């Protein structure tokens, strides 16, 4: 069901789902989506749906370095997430790779040294997949950590760009994804640094710059929405504690 | 483990028919139920009651019917814990954490067995002996409380009630209008026409699905819908799977120091009394959830349940 | 993203493994979709629709599909094309979609594409139980309504539809809607436009009632079965699906290639009734006749003056217009081989019961003047494989004697011939220009000028190689001992290959001190100018090949690229992609390397010039020595190839000598081959083989290669049958055996005999094809004719045929040497397979167009002459023979008896011999034939061959 190359962007400038090339899908967010957790966030990027929960910082049960907190990331993809039944183990390679990448990115952002001798557990549940899972996961984890009140140096925002037949498409969905190569980046919007880059399949080196720029633009779009959601959540919390009257 | 003082407090409350949260012994907590959260699944539901939360998704697959039941489809169930719920926090059905999960799975599978719901499984048969639907039901426990079996069985029933499988007809059937059809050799031997559009998708008949009700023995009293906290004060528990007609389809019990034979009899009696109300409430809740989805113009419009966005 | 709302569409599909997958397509609706009208979007500077237009037209899908010729008339402007319609057209007929897109691109026409599916107010969700067609019609009406409301009182919005239900519903909803015909009639220049209007089947009845041609009562043909029945029965194996091919020597018969009939690879349709309105290239479904109605393998040639009681004769004779004489002959030949190899004495016969897909495209036709009844006329397609067509025209007088383009519309059960409509006039019959256009159109050759966008892909005028580009490359310009030169046909302007050879100094020589040579083949580096994915690249991929007609050529890439930027001219610095070998004295390859280089050709010679230099012993300049080294190595290479079994085949092609002013042909020449031709050829083969190995090593799944399969079993039975009568036999067990047995086919008294056998051998073999390495097992990479285990095209990126393949190969090779990465598309076997498919088609079309052009010039040549020439019999049938005239490379049918007359000959269908008292005709017999142009039908002159010696008996 891959889209044919000639069809990814119509001469009128629309993609198969009605977006323009530089438009991300609708990003819908909810902080505190799982009330029992220390922090949680639910992210819908188009049709991709992800729930991240954070537990901790709490006393470390594992031995390790004492001068900083340990960050653990676990990822589950529900068997009905893709439209056909697939029993994902937690140990399948793709999940493991994604876990490791997420952990690495966040180790650089979370101020782990503030939480010595503790551990922070992040659990991600991928409920529905339709392209951009990596970006949705990173954005959800950022928000869950914010929700848990874990100190971070910056937001970590992620977005992907597909390059299909010379056309760059921001935030490709699964249908577009199969047609070309895809680059996803995790970006620190305030310090304007890139924390992680991942490229699936080949891309001409000459266009890398352009692709990165489009991806960064996408991350900034994501950031604006994420920041908005955090503000709403903060007001809610203040309100519920009677500290703020709108 | 709760402290002795806490346990005593719970016991006293139960004895006085006024529990920690103000309920009487046989009261259930309010339930929040949503269906159609995930359009990519054939059916889905999310149930929240007390501190527990469970997510269920159903995937329909084509397969050949089992050799010893050529006219029946299958409902297969799997359970997983996470992210905030871990198997270690499940009530002590078994010693090791992962065995607890297996125990749960086993208990719930009994609900969908051939003996339990033969008529419903027959509706999943497409062509006798060659082709049937297999509904894979996956329950993800997001948060836990005292009676996971009850909530999962309810959420599974809701997800199955929301499940629609595409209409298939044997090869060469006349065009019926409506959506485009695909012909393809199926998982079985026979060629089938599959209605792509889901216009004429077939709901799964789940009116006969049994539900679990768990009664906990707290200080000699039978308590319904115990919280995790209460369960720590409980002796043994008894979980009964009851069909809408009041038939017992499965029974799971034990724990604590064992169950007095007389109390066990009383609890079963009580359970079958609760059954009618339980099924009626469940039916209403499911109907309400389906109606909500209808109101959101599922699936064409933005019909998914607000779910976690609410 | 605030302006977007999302809706979802959910559906299921079977996966490849037979499972069911639920798909969800999220779809965004927006408010900022351009309407194209300055009335609605005054701020939009790029509005296509005119502010002063009295009305905008909205078209429904069927109007676009059927009336594309009308739309192409400039009279219709200010048209709103809905996305719904475009999508439907694209899925239904990509050729019309392309034409529609061309209209949209034309500023003057003011066609605006409105993306109604993405607009919040015009998006139409399918309702439960609604068919996709009904939904689309509803979406079209909804968009029309939207425009009507927006433009109320400013400008009329008119929906054109010929669908009765759509028309009714539109009018019920208060929309302005009309049928195309009634709308066109209301226009000021209606007369002209009505001509090009396609008829609908439902309309046809009305048109006829109004004084049209009187039809035979009842149904002439059997109605087709409903699609649902067809697909069921095909699956059950009781009906058979395949592509219909009209037989070239008997156009009232056709064959359908099938896979589902045991023991038969094709089904014969014996007459027009059995073809049941299917035409050349259609995908049809056939039902087999009972076996007692099957036919013997031997058959007659299409009879002259056959079943045509309606008009004058419709012969399947030797019209040189018939597009592809050689190919056509080859097809028949192959068909015959197959039929014979199947060992069954009967051919499966069947009848068409349904048409799955029409292969209809515009046809070049000639109007038959006397065929008129009222305004209805019959036109005869130039491509004889298509039946005559009914058209309606009021300007028959103007069309007589012209080549006109006609589009087919439908074919009714009660009509003898299909119905079509006039599209445009090409010019006079027999006019060189018009006839050439006709050839190009018939072969689907793109002739449009290169757009500005494509031209813009080329560097500015006065381009020279930039310094940094030189720095990246190996500079061969001043390398001692390297003298690069090119050898091509005289007057060649697009030189794409050059060569060099030098004796390596002893220090670099072989281990035992034996001399080593460095030889290089330098190919124009097109890859530098054509980057993948650019406009110029896409255009080139579509065209696939340059098409050479006798007097003109239709380029694949702009002329400037081939003739200037890339062409390896004498004494000019040029970019090249080089394949450089170290070769020992016995022509063994010691090492191979591939490099991007800069070269300056020392001399661009013709074959003749090069030959003269090599032969002139007195010349000892470095250039000549270079040539002699090359030639010496080439000879050894050739000897080795021959020993391995390379075939030397032949074609009857000829070249015209044209009058320099009128461009009329004045003489015919055979191509002359010199040693220098062979020298260049050997090195090109070597380069192609080296490159093929290299790209397959690096990209085993997606290398673009070319293969020539071994002959099909039994393919030579017929030829051997003919040869046996002359005491010869071809051994096809291997290419070496074949090459040797070909060498033995010599009649001392007839030097042409051997060449003739080679020509017929070529036709008995399969065609060479491009393919993707992943699609075939390595054992089948074989190039039979060249006796090479692997082969590709690398050496002709700007000249000759299907050069796009060469460009793809260049890209792969460039990636291997780390020069430039390739797009993932080049490495996707599925995409490569699609590409290869197109290249093979384009290659064949280009070849056929070239041959058709030769045929045209042959006809022009004989217009002024009557010539008696030697000819050879190459096929013998019951009622006639097929002869080949070597001098002019033409072939044609000579009938030994007219239809309905008694055949003076008896036919031996075992040996394929015609005998009459005192005369025997066998294959390979030499005859004298008279060649002249038959102008009995002034609108359709054709070449006529008749045997003058020996004298044939008549009945």
Cα C884 to Cα C892: distance, rounded to the nearest angstrom: 7
CB contact under 8 A, C28 and A18: yes
Query: What residues in A contact C115, CB-CB < 8 Å?
Result: 10, 12, 14, 18
Radius of gyration of chain B (CA): 21
pLDDT in tens, B193-229: 777 777 777 788 878 889 998 888 888 888 888 888 8
E runs forming strands in C446-515? 474-475, 485-488, 497-503
CB contact under 8 A, C125 and B174: no
- E strand or H helix that includes residue A157: strand A157-164
pLDDT in tens, C149-203: 999 888 899 999 998 999 999 999 999 999 988 888 888 877 777 777 777 665 5
CB-side neighbour CA atoms (13 Å) of B223: 36
Cα C201 to Cα C184: distance, rounded to the nearest angstrom: 18
pLDDT of residue A226: 93
CB contact under 8 A, A204 and C823: yes
pLDDT in tens, C886-916: 888 888 888 887 777 788 888 887 788 888 8
Q: Is the pLDDT of residue B180 over 60?
A: no
Neighbours of chain A (3+ CB pairs under 8 A): B, C
CB contact under 8 A, B44 and A80: yes
Shortest Cα distance, chain A CAs vs residue B248, angstroms = 31
CB contact under 8 A, A165 and C825: yes
Q: Is the pLDDT of residue B178 over 60?
A: no
Mutate to test the interface with B, among A72, A80, A123, A145 (most CBs of B within 10 A): A80
CB contact under 8 A, B171 and C232: yes
CB contact under 8 A, B38 and A85: no
pLDDT of residue C200: 63
Query: What residues in A contact B49, CB-CB < 8 Å?
Result: none
Q: Is the pLDDT of residue B169 over 60?
A: yes
Mutate to test the interface with A, among C29, C34, C90, C823 (most CBs of A within 10 A): C823
Q: Is B62 on the interface with A (CB under 8 A)?
A: no
Look at B161-175, B241-255, C299-313, C529-543 and tell me which has the smallest mean pLDDT: C299-313
> Position of tokens 């290479």?
C637
Cα B62 to Cα C663: distance, rounded to the nearest angstrom: 70
Shortest Cα distance, chain B CAs vs residue C180, angstroms = 29
pLDDT in tens, A178-214: 766 778 888 998 888 888 888 876 666 667 888 888 9
Mean pLDDT for the stretch of residues C590-618: 93
Cα C616 to Cα C476: distance, rounded to the nearest angstrom: 28
pLDDT in tens, A227-238: 998 998 888 888
Q: Is C185 on the interface with B (CB under 8 A)?
A: no
Q: State ipTM.
A: 0.87
CB contact under 8 A, B84 and A37: yes
CB contact under 8 A, C28 and A26: yes
Q: Is A233 on the interface with C (CB under 8 A)?
A: no
CB-side neighbour CA atoms (13 Å) of C329: 25
pLDDT in tens, C93-147: 888 888 888 888 887 788 999 999 999 999 998 888 888 899 999 999 999 999 9
Long-range contacts of A96-101 (CB under 8 A, 24+ apart): A98/A133, A98/A134, A98/A137, A99/A73, A99/A74, A99/A75, A100/A73, A101/A134, A101/A196, A101/A198
Shortest Cα distance, chain C CAs vs residue B298, angstroms = 9
Listed by number, the residues of chain C in 87-126 with a beta carbon closer than 8 Å to a beta carbon of chain B are 125-126
Mean pLDDT for the stretch of residues C708-714: 85
pLDDT of residue C942: 80
**What angle separates helix B148-162 from helix B97-109, to the nearest 10 degrees?**
50
Listed by number, the residues of chain C in 198-227 with a beta carbon closer than 8 Å to a beta carbon of chain A are none
Q: Is C26 on the interface with B (CB under 8 A)?
A: no
Whether the full predicted model's pTM is greater than 0.90, yes or no, is no
Intra-chain end-to-end CA distance of chain B, in Å: 34
Q: Is C118 on the interface with A (CB under 8 A)?
A: yes
Mean residue pLDDT of chain C comes to 83
Q: Is the pLDDT of residue C954 over 80?
A: no
SS3 content of chain A, % helix, strand, coil (to 5): 30, 30, 40
Beta-carbon neighbour count of residue A178 at 10 Å? Answer: 15
Q: Which two tokens stand for residue C756?
A: 């003739």
User: Could you tell me if residue C400 is left (phi over 0), alpha (psi between -120 and 50 degrees) or otherwise beta?
Assistant: beta
Query: What residues in B contact A89, CB-CB < 8 Å?
Result: none
CB contact under 8 A, C113 and A11: yes
Listed by number, the residues of chain C in 59-88 with a beta carbon closer than 8 Å to a beta carbon of chain A are 83
Query: What residues in A contact C124, CB-CB < 8 Å?
Result: none
CB-side neighbour CA atoms (13 Å) of B301: 9
Cα C428 to Cα B206: distance, rounded to the nearest angstrom: 77
Q: Output the CA angle C609-C614-C616, nearest 5 degrees.
A: 95
pLDDT in tens, C445-492: 888 888 877 888 889 888 899 999 999 999 999 888 899 999 988 888
Per-residue confidence band for C662, with pLDDT thresholds at 50, 70 and 90: low
Q: Which of C320, C413, C318, C312 is nearest to C367 (CA)?
A: C312
Shortest Cα distance, chain C CAs vs residue A20, angstroms = 10
| Candidate from B182, B191, B199 with C-beta closest to C129 | B199
Q: Is C130 on the interface with B (CB under 8 A)?
A: yes
User: Could you tell me if residue A171 is left (phi over 0), alpha (psi between -120 and 50 degrees) or otherwise beta?
Assistant: left
| Candidate from B53, B136, B143 with C-beta closest to A79 | B136
Query: What residues in A contact B228, CB-CB < 8 Å?
Result: none
For C74-118, the DSSP string reads TT--SEEEEHHHHHHHHHH-HHHHHHHHHHHH-GGG-EEEE-GGG
Per-residue confidence band for C81, with pLDDT thresholds at 50, 70 and 90: very high
Per-residue confidence band for C318, with pLDDT thresholds at 50, 70 and 90: very low
CA nearest to A24 within chain C: C1
CB contact under 8 A, C8 and B300: yes
| Candidate from C23, C24, C821 with C-beta closest to A204 | C821
CB contact under 8 A, A1 and C13: yes
Say which residue, A246 or C599, is predicted with more confidence. C599
Percent with pLDDT over 90 in chain A:
40
pLDDT of residue C352: 93
Mean pLDDT for the stretch of residues C861-885: 87
């Amino acid at each position: 069901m891959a889209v044919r190359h000639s069809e990814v962007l119509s001469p009128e400038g629309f993609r198969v789902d009605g977006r323009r090339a530089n438009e991300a899908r609708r990003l819908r967010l909810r902080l505190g989506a799982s009330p029992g957790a220390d922090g949680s966030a639910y992210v819908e990027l188009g049709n991709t749906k992800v729930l991240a929960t954070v537990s901790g910082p709490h006393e470390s049960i594992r031995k390790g370095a004492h001068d900083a907190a340990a960050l653990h990331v676990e990822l589950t993809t529900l068997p009905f997430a893709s439209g056909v039944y697939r029993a994902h183990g937690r140990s399948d390679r793709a999940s493991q790779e994604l876990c490791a990448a997420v952990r690495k990115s966040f180790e650089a952002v979370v101020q782990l040294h503030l939480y010595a001798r503790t551990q922070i557990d992040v659990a991600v549940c991928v409920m529905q997949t339709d392209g951009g899972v990596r970006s949705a996961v990173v954005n959800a984890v950022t928000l869950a950590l914010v929700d848990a009140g874990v100190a971070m140096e910056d937001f970590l925002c992620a977005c992907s760009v597909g390059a299909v037949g010379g056309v760059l498409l921001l935030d490709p969905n699964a249908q577009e994804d199969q047609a070309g190569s895809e680059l996803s980046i995790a970006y620190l919007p305030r310090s304007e640094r890139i924390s992680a880059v991942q490229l699936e399949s080949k891309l001409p080196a000459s266009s890398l710059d352009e692709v990165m720029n489009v991806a960064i633009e996408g991350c900034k779009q994501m950031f604006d929405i994420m920041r908005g959601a955090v503000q709403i959540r903060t007001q809610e919390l203040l309100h519920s504690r009677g500290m703020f009257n709108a | 483990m709760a402290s002795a003082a806490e346990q005593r407090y719970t016991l006293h409350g139960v004895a006085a028919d006024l529990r920690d949260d103000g309920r009487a012994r046989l009261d259930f907590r309010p339930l929040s139920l949503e269906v159609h959260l995930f359009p990519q699944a054939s059916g889905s539901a999310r149930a929240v009651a007390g501190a527990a939360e469970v997510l269920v998704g159903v995937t329909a697959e084509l397969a050949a019917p089992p050799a010893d039941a050529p006219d029946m489809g299958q409902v297969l169930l799997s359970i997983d814990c996470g992210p905030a719920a871990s198997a270690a926090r499940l009530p002590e059905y078994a010693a090791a954490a992962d065995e607890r999960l297996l125990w749960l799975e086993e208990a719930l599978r009994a609900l969908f067995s051939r003996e339990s719901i033969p008529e419903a499984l027959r509706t999943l048969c497409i062509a006798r002996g060659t082709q049937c639907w297999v509904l894979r039901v996956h329950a993800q426990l997001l948060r836990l409380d005292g009676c996971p079996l009850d909530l999962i069985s309810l959420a599974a029933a809701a997800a199955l009630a929301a499940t629609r499988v595409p209409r298939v007809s044997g090869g060469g059937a006349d065009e019926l209008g409506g959506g485009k059809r695909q012909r393809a050799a199926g998982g079985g031997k026979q060629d089938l026409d599959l209605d792509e559009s889901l216009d004429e998708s077939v709901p799964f008949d789940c009116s006969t699905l049994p539900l679990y009700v768990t009664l906990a023995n707290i200080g000699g009293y039978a308590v319904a819908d115990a919280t995790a906290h209460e369960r720590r004060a409980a002796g043994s528990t008894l979980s009964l799977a009851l069909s809408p007609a009041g038939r017992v389809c499965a029974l799971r019990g034990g724990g604590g120091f064992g169950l007095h034979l007389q109390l066990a009899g009383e609890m079963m009696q009580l359970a079958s009394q609760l059954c009618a109300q339980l099924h009626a409430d469940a039916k209403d809740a499911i109907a309400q959830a389906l109606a909500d989805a209808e109101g959101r113009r599922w699936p064409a419009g933005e019909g998914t349940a607000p779910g976690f966005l609410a | 993203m605030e302006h977007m709302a999302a809706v979802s569409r959910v559906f299921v599909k079977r996966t490849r493994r037979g499972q069911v997958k639920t798909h969800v397509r999220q779809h965004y609706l927006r408010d900022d979709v351009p309407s194209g009208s300055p009335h609605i979007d005054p701020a939009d500077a790029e509005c296509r629709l005119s502010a002063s237009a009295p009305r905008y037209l909205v078209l429904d899908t069927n109007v676009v599909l059927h009336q594309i010729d009308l739309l192409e008339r400039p009279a219709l402007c200010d048209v709103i094309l809905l996305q719904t319609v475009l999508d439907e057209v694209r899925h239904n007929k990509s050729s019309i979609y392309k034409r529609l897109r061309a209209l949209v691109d034309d500023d003057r026409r003011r066609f605006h594409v409105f993306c109604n599916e993405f607009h919040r107010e015009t998006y139409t969700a399918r309702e439960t139980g609604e068919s996709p067609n009904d939904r689309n019609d509803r979406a079209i009406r909804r968009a029309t309504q939207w425009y009507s409301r927006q433009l109320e009182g400013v400008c009329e919005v008119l929906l054109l539809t010929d669908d009765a239900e759509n028309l009714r519903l539109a009018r019920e909803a208060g929309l302005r809607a009309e049928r195309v015909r009634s709308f066109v009639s209301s226009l000021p220049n209606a007369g002209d436009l009505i001509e090009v209007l396609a008829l609908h089947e439902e309309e046809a009845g009305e048109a006829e009632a109004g004084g049209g041609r009187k039809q035979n009562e009842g149904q002439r043909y059997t109605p087709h079965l409903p699609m649902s029945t067809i697909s069921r029965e095909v699956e059950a194996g009781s009906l058979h699906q395949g592509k219909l091919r009209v037989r070239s020597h008997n156009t009232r018969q056709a064959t359908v290639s099938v896979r589902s009939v045991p023991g038969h690879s094709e089904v014969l349709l014996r007459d027009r009734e059995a073809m049941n309105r299917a035409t050349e290239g259609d995908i049809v479904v056939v039902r087999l006749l009972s076996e007692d109605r099957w036919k013997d393998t031997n058959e007659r040639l299409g009879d002259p003056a056959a079943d045509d009681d309606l008009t004058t004769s419709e012969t399947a004779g030797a019209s040189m217009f018939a597009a592809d004489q050689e190919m056509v002959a080859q097809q028949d030949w192959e068909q015959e081989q197959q039929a014979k190899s199947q060992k069954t004495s009967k051919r499966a016969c069947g009848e068409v019961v349904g048409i799955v897909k029409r292969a209809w495209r515009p046809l070049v036709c000639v109007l038959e003047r006397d065929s008129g009844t009222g305004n209805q006329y019959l036109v005869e397609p130039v491509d004889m494989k298509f039946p005559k067509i009914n058209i309606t025209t009021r300007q028959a007088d103007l069309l007589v004697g012209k080549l006109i383009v006609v589009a087919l519309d439908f074919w009714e059960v009660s009509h003898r011939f299909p119905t079509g409509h006039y599209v445009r006039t090409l010019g006079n019959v027999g006019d060189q220009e018009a006839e050439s256009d006709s050839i190009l159109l018939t072969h689907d050759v793109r002739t449009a000028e290169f757009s500005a966008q494509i031209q813009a892909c080329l560097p500015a005028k006065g381009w020279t190689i930039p310094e940094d580009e030189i720095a990246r490359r190996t500079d061969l310009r001043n390398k001692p001992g390297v003298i690069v030169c090119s050898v091509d046909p005289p007057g060649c302007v697009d030189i794409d290959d050059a060569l060099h050879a030098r004796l390596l100094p002893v220090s670099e020589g072989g281990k035992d001190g034996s001399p080593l040579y460095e030889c290089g083949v330098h190919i124009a580096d097109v890859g530098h100018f054509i980057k993948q994915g650019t406009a110029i690249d896409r255009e080139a991929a579509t065209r696939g090949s340059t098409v050479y007609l006798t007097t003109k050529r239709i380029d694949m890439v702009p002329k400037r690229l081939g003739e200037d930027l890339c062409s390896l001219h004498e004494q000019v610095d040029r970019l090249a992609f080089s394949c450089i070998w170290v070769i020992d004295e016995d022509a063994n390859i010691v090492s191979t390397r591939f490099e991007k280089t800069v070269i300056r050709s020392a001399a661009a010679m013709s074959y003749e010039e090069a030959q003269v230099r090599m032969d002139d012993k007195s010349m000892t300049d470095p250039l000549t020595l270079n040539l002699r080294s090359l030639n010496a190595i080439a000879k050894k290479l050739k000897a080795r190839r021959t020993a391995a079994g390379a075939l030397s085949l032949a074609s009857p092609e000829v070249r015209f000598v044209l009058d320099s002013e009128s461009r009329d042909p004045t003489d015919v020449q055979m191509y002359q081959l010199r040693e220098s031709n062979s020298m260049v050829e050997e090195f090109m083969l070597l380069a192609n083989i080296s490159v093929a190995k290299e790209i397959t090593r690096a990209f085993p799944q997606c290398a673009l290669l070319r293969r020539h399969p071994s002959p099909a079993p039994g393919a030579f039975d017929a030829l051997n049958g003919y040869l046996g009568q002359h005491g010869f036999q071809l051994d096809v067990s291997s290419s070496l055996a074949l090459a040797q047995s070909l060498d033995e086919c010599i009649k001392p008294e007839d030097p042409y005999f051997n060449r003739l056998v080679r020509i017929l051998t070529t036709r008995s073999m399969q065609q060479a094809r491009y393919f993707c390495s992943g699609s075939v097992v390595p054992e089948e990479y074989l190039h039979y004719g060249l006796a090479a285990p692997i082969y590709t095209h690398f050496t002709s990126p700007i000249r000759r045929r299907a050069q796009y393949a060469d460009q793809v190969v260049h890209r792969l090779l460039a990636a291997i040497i780390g020069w430039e990465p390739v797009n993932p598309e080049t490495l996707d076997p599925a995409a490569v397979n699609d590409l290869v498919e197109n290249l093979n088609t384009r290659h064949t079309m280009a070849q056929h167009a070239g041959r058709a052009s030769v045929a045209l010039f042959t006809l022009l040549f004989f217009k002024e002459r009557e010539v008696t020439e030697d000819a050879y019999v190459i096929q013998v049938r019951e009622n006639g023979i097929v002869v080949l005239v070597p001098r002019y490379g033409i072939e044609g049918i000579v009938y030994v008896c007219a239809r309905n007359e008694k055949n003076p000959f008896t036919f031996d269908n075992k040996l394929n011999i015609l005998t009459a008292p005192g005369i025997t005709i066998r294959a390979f017999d030499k005859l004298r034939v008279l060649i002249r142009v038959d102008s009995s039908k002034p609108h359709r002159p054709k070449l006529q061959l008749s045997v003058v010696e020996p004298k044939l008996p008549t009945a």
